[in-house]
Structure 1
Amino acid sequence: MAHSRSTPFVLGLAALALAGCGSSWNPFRASEPPPACPRAVVVNDLSRLTEFRPGPGRDLSDVVFSAAIERVDATCEYDRRRKVTMQTVVNLVVERGPADRSRQAQVTYFVAVADAANQILARETFTTPVKFDGNVTRMQASDEIEQVIQLGGGTGAGYKIFVGFPLTEEQLSHNRQR
């Protein structure tokens, strides 16, 4: 299952790019390699999501679905106008739990841009629908996001891209206990 989205993620004085720079043209100096892209970071405590059915139960039989961010793949390209265009793919693994009755899940995750001091400059959430057909209990899903970032000067090398699930306090505690 693959979804494609085009999302403008424009920052006035910030840069964004993800690991694996795929620049074919270098606007900085023709004799030098293209500038490095910022690296993508899956936030460890926010990399798993367990959705329980309503009520007090929190054992395996109460799980509606669980999801994990398997990896983030990205390329970037710099252009003449000091912009970086990002192609980011967020890869998820989603498992149907015993408490699921709808055979589908809505998995929400975020992508945030941070500067060299880890200050969040922009954050956006995305929701990926997952449908479990037949006897399927495990699905892979991926979203492709295009981001265009205006650089205020320099490169995006000091920036980071954080990816994770927006968890409740209870979900975060569950992850930390694992």
Structure 2
Amino acid sequence: MANSTGNLRAPTLLALAATGLVLAGCGSLNPFGKSETPPACPRAVVVNDLSRVTEYRPGAGRDLSDVVYSAGIERVDSTCEYDRRRKVTMQTTVNLVVERGPADRARQAQVTYFVAVADAANQVLARETFTVPVKFEGNVTRMQASEEIEQVIQLGGGTGAGHKIFVGFPLTEEQLNQNRRR
């Protein structure tokens, strides 16, 4: 189950079968042998070009007065723990900042981001999107939130070495080009 702060919620990302990952901060349980160093955790990566999103009101306008909201992924933190059945349980925290724009009349936003698991060759093995409802109460125009996602990954015969978790916003071509110009 995903937990959150700042009125944000996300569903749980479950059982990414037959994948391994690599993130900093593994748990202390070492099912691979008492004298062995525990395997590395999958590494979480914020995709730079996909780390920000700006939503505009419908129409052709694209200046500051047309912004409904903008959001950014500040960072992603992860820990993991391996078990004796060659599974790894990941705890991934996605840290978001959402800002209300001048064109927002509803005082709320629906922010969508994705989490993807990739192998050592950066081939995406699994991908899931999450939509986070954001409500701006009172005079609040900026919110920070931490989304916690638990993942259980079956590794098969190996460890998660070389694998990554990519996090970003699913963008339109226009939004992607805007991010690249920044």
Q: When the two structures are superposed, what TM-score results if normalisation uses the length of structure 1?
A: 0.95
The alignment status of 1:47 with 2:38, answered yes or no, reads no
In the other structure, the counterpart of 1:10 is: 16
Aligned to 1:112: 116
> SS where residue 67 of structure 1 aligns?
strand
Deviation at 1:4, TM superposition (A): 5.9
Map 1:21-100; keep pairs closer than 5 Å.
21=26, 23-100=27-104
Is 1:155 aligned with 2:165?
Answer: no
CA contact (8 A) 2:31 2:84 kept: yes
Q: Separation in 2 of the partners of 1:153 and 1:69?
A: 33
Q: Contact between 2:21 and 2:43, CA under 8 Å: does it hold in 1?
A: no
1:15 maps to a residue whose letter is G
User: What is the RMSD computed on CA atoms of the aligned residues?
Assistant: 1.2
Q: 1:79 to 1:123 in 2, by over 3 A?
A: same
- Whether the 8 Å CA contact 2:13–2:128 is kept in 1: the answer is no
Structure 2 runs not aligned, ≥5 long: 1-5
Cα distance per residue 1:110-156 (max 9 Å; x no partner): 00000000100000000111111111100012211110000111210
- Distance in 1 (alpha carbons) for counterparts of 2:151 and 2:42: 13
For 2:177, the equivalent position in structure 1 comes to 173
- 2:128 and 2:24 map into 1 onto residues whose CA distance is 19
- The two structures have a TM-score, normalised by structure 2, of 0.93
- SS of 2:44's equivalent? strand
5+ residue gaps, structure 1: none
Aligned sequence identity (%): 80
